[in-house]
Amino acid sequence: MEALLIVDVQNDFCPGGALAVPEGDQIIDAVNRLAAQAPLVLATRDWHPPDHGSFVDRGGVWPVHCVRGTPGAQLHPGLGARIDAIIDKGQASGREGYSGFEDTSLERLLRERDVDTVHVVGLALDYCVKATALDARTAGFKVVVHAEATRAVDVEPGDGERAVAELRAAGVEVRPAPARPARDAR
């Protein structure tokens, strides 16, 4: 069976959020389209405690984001997809929690549903999407990342491209975004 895993499409990762991924909200239509075709749809959320170690004020590198129970931590309201389960991650103060598999029930849930192929979409390609896809691969799942339904934060220019190369090297299929029609130059 196949499952769609929507990674961290949350308000804080979209324009206007505390840690906005450039064009993060532009993946919503593609995510909804893929979800409409999937037999099982799961979503992860960064669900950090207020004292999470990744926050700048705690010595980390990221601004305060996705604090559990806040509006920024909620899934983006544009997600019209049916979501069968939400997996909260990043709840331990001392651990990054990038992967949806880290300290969660995600793998058990996938195995209980006899999932063998995981389609991964969401934010951000170069952090949580990559970590989740790599852990899914390590756990033995066939993994497909849909480029049209993810964006990179690109802290360093090229991080997104490097993430795609790393995913492919690990045996993850990365499906390119469909070609956009050329604009009429009239």
Nearest residue to 52 (alpha-carbon basis) of 75, 73, 71? 73
CB-CB contact of 98 with 134 (8 Å): no
Determine the straight-line distance between the first and last CA of the chain, rounded to whole angstroms.
Answer: 47
Looking up tokens 């880290």 gives: 102
User: Which residues are designated catalytic?
Assistant: 8, 89, 128
Nearest residue to 135 (alpha-carbon basis) of 165, 103, 162, 112? 103
CB-CB contact of 41 with 86 (8 Å): no
CB-CB contact of 128 with 145 (8 Å): no
Half-sphere exposure of 102 (CA within 13 A, CB side): 20
How far apart, in Å, are the Cα atoms of 152 and each of 3, 51, 115, 140? 22, 25, 27, 25
